[in-house]
Amino acid sequence: MRRYASRMRHSESHRSHRIGWLRAAVLGANDGIVSTASLIVGVAAADTERSGILVAGLAGLVAGAMSMAAGEYVSVSSQADTEAADMQREKHELATQPEAEHAELTAIYMKRGLDEALAAQVATQLTAKDALGAHARDELGITEELAARPVQAAFASAGTFTVGAALPLLLVLVLPKEWLVWGVSAASLLFLALLGSLAARAGGSPVLKSAARVTFWGALAMGLTAGVGAIFGTKL
């Protein structure tokens, strides 16, 4: 009995409820580091004065943060609108075709492994408690934890973009001008590796794989922009 009670008290720690804000936060910080560091490296490679590099970095930070906020808000709002329309349609069908909706829910549970009698019983009980919630979760895949939140996503993306972009931008103030290209590149790759590791730990995914992924794409972006700055900076 004690062992059973202990199992009943056991609380599993899942991370799926973090998916919405974690995706926006990681995307924002990653873009902030990569885009601003790449911009700084590209402009510095063109032998621009420190003031010009700083202005370019600041402009990139502001423009990027607003772009991230607007993009996340618009895309997640579209998702929220779709979810709301699906919920309204489901609500109407529950009111006008309750038997068909019950049969639909029963079929869903049968596909998941329940026999017909038990599936019908589960559908009946869940419908009696919260019919719309049962259909939203099991038919549409909409849950409270994973529901679209446009404002939250916009603020998360803009805020984390700003934090990410501020890291390479601060290096412009402290590093000698001749070290900017290599110093910003190296430090930004370190920031990206740390970000990938933190995101992996928060989401419960492999740390090394996540860190390597973001570091590779960051290195590629900075390498390409440095090449553009070095080539065109000597010609324009």
Residue pLDDT tens, the chain, 236 long: 445 444 444 444 444 444 555 666 777 888 899 999 999 998 988 888 889 999 999 999 999 999 988 988 888 888 888 888 888 888 888 888 888 888 888 888 888 888 888 988 888 888 888 888 888 887 777 766 666 678 888 888 889 899 999 999 999 998 998 888 899 999 999 988 888 887 777 667 777 887 888 888 888 888 888 888 878 765 54
Query: Dihedral (C-alpha) 92, 98, 102, 108: value to the nearest 10 degrees?
Result: -20
Segment 168-175 long-range contacts (CB within 8 Å, at least 24 positions apart): 168/33, 168/36, 168/37, 168/40, 168/57, 169/36, 169/40, 169/54, 169/57, 169/58, 169/61, 171/40, 172/40, 172/50, 172/53, 172/54, 172/57, 173/54
DSSP class of residue 110 equals H
* This model's pTM is above 0.75: no
What confidence score (pLDDT) does residue 146 get? 60
Q: Tokens 């933190």 — which residue?
A: 198
Q: Which two tokens mark 149?
A: 């939140």
Phi, psi of 52 (to 5 degrees): -70, -40
- Looking at residue 63, its pLDDT comes to 93
User: Taking a C-beta distance cutoff of 8 angstroms, is the pair 149, 142 a contact?
Assistant: no
